[in-house]
Amino acid sequence: MAIFKGAGVAIVTPMKDNYDVNYEQLEENINYQIDNGTDCIIITGTTGESSTLTEKEHLEAIKAAVEFTKHRIPVVAGTGSNCTRTAVELSKEADSYGVDGVLVVTPYYNKATQAGLISHYSQIAGEIKAPVIMYNVPSRTGCNLMPETVAHLVKNVDNIVGIKDATGNLSQAAHMMNLCDGNLELYSGNDDQVLPLLSIGGLGVISVLSNIAPKQTHDLVMEYLEGDRKKAMKIQLDAIPLINALFCEVNPIPVKAAMNMLGMGAGPLRAPLSEMIDANKEKLLAEMKKFGLC
């Protein structure tokens, strides 16, 4: 059984003006997501600024998300690191909190070999009971999880079950799905490519867009899975200008700006991320209005 089908939100980590994590706002945002159809909460991912959270904050945010969600929908915790030992410890702790899965990004900066990646993921999975979703985003990590490596892991490690694919390479994704013989839970990591990945067997998306448009993102996936391809296509294509605006600067700079404009209390960004420039804010606001969000 899949961890989830539909739209999982790569939820932001809201901050107070002093840059402390705003747990009261996080609870409010989680409730908003659930009330508007989101199918899974993904906490402490890239959009959640995990790279600038302390390890203590990282774990506290995961624990809080589990408590706030109250088993209404699954919670998947981002527990990746460029250090295998750290990723193991984060994953074990998250597992003890009762998460429904962990999302483990490929090691970054180190540029592990494919053999190193097999060892990395196998060690993490071997220490926990929770299912593992691999996260392949070479544009950020400088490391590409190749189809043959994914297939080896899925076929040889019982609790490695899925992948968040943010390669942007549809040919690679199709080859990967072929090698996995239908045994891979595929989630789009790019909001502008949800429909193409659904068409080759994907189950949904781990979405930035869902932070501000949860119902539309959920509907995009479910309309496709339930057979209304035309309606799904319209939602996907109508959302493209807004998605482009949400990625005109490095994620999560624009989505936090969008949430703040909508009164959703995302708060500031931790350095080295900086606030969105005014010209891009204006473009983002214009696309939000066109999409009917304000």
Q: Map tokens 């892991």 to a residue.
A: 153
Is 224 marked active-site? no
Catalytic residue among 63, 121, 164, 256: 164
Q: Report how far residue 10's alpha carbon sits from residue 140's, in angstroms, rounded to the nearest whole number.
A: 16
Within a 10 A sphere around the Cβ of 99, how many other Cβ atoms?
27
Catalytic residue among 121, 135, 187, 224: 135
Annotated binding site for pyruvate: 47, 206
Is the distance from CB of 117 to CB of 149 less than 8 angstroms?
yes
Is 135 marked active-site? yes
Q: Report how far residue 291's alpha carbon sits from residue 277's, in angstroms, rounded to the nearest whole number.
A: 21
Q: Report how far residue 63's alpha carbon sits from residue 98's, in angstroms, rounded to the nearest whole number.
A: 9
Sequence-ordered list of residues with C-beta below 8 angstroms from that of 52, at least 6 positions apart, any chain: 270, 271, 273
Task: Count CA within 13 A, CB hemisphere, residue 149.
Answer: 21
Residues noted as catalytic: 135, 164
